[in-house]
Amino acid sequence: MEKQNKKILWTCIQQKGDSLMNKLPNHPYHPNGRNPYAHVCSLIKDKYGESYKEIDNIMFLDVKKFIEEI
């Protein structure tokens, strides 16, 4: 993915992570609380099979929309 598109997606991930702060359910593997930014990134990786940095530019708008809908 192009550098500019990566920056835009990271901003979207940060905004979504901010909105999920203290809203994710507790989990025994995360005794100090869950990281909402990592959660968003893991959902992207689960759906697309690679990190947001590795996804092809063609999928940019689709990934952006997916993040907004989380």
Distance CA 60, CA 54 (A): 11
- Of 38, 46, 39, 44, residue with least CA distance to 67: 44
DSSP letter (8 states) at residue 57: G
Report pLDDT digits (tens) over 9-52.
999 999 999 999 999 999 999 988 999 999 999 999 999 999 99
Give the predicted TM-score (pTM) of the model.
Answer: 0.93
